[in-house]
Amino acid sequence: MRRLIFATNNKHKVTEVRAALSSIDDIEIVTLAEAGLEGEIPETADTLHGNAHQKALWVWERTHTDCFADDTGLEVDALGGAPGVYSARYAGPHCSFDDNIDKLLANLHGKENRKAHFRTVICLIEGHSQSLPTTHYFEGRVDGQILTSRHSNGQGFGYDPLFMPDRFALSFAEMPLQLKNTISHRALAVKKLKDYLLNS
Ligand code: IMP
């Protein structure tokens, strides 16, 4: 069985990734806690690639076990790509999802161009202590529009109530989770990771 540490303790992400990779028989996805890793992983890079790499490397340096990390941002055209890599803390260091949504709505007030996309970058590091590790990146992107107010059935998280993906008339927070999980940025990045693992 191949052990792959996922640099997260976020239960939703782990469930989503385990489900997406479940058809690969010989892979076991292990969380940070299950791998016995404690402490805050630094996320101080100024790109999604940089943060994903920083998190995966933190794990690899401590375990010398194959591992991967993800980083996601919402990139809004009219705001020059903001909040981007700062999506989680757009409204400040300890802000809530609601604070971030309020700030985004305020910054887009009166703007006609509502185009935006979510982008997820996964960094996979493979290698053991005797060999130099190799690094691979997998990127998923979903394009859409930022709505002028919240649209939600209570599903989803983060910016979901404001994001309507192209070709759909529902926000991410209104659509069934199963549907979001087939078209989302994260799903597309995980699909590329899966294709790589199946062929490597
Ligand atoms: P992370 O890198 O996956 O932790 O994502 C960083 C931030 O991007 C989160 O705190 C959310 O604000 C936002 N985000 C990531 N994925 C999604 C999503 O699927 N829907 C809405 N917001 C998201």
Per residue in 42-75, pLDDT tens?
999 999 999 999 999 999 999 999 999 999 999 9
Average pLDDT over residues 29-34: 96
pLDDT of residue 155: 85
Answer for the pair 83, 73: CB distance below 8 angstroms, yes or no: yes
Q: Which atom of ligand 1 is nearest to the CA of 71?
A: 2
Catalytic residues, which ones? 71
CATH of the domain at 102: 3.90.950.10
Grade residue 154 by pLDDT with cuts at 50, 70 and 90.
confident
Segment 130-146 mean pLDDT:
94
Total structural domains within the chain: 1
Is the pLDDT confidence value at 13 over 80? Answer: yes
pLDDT computed for residue 200 by the predictor: 87
Domain range enclosing 22 = 2-199
Task: State the distance from the centre of ligand 1 to the C-alpha of 71, rounded, in angstroms.
Answer: 8
How much distance in Å is there from the Cα of 3 to the middle of ligand 1?
26
* Mean pLDDT within 115-120: 98
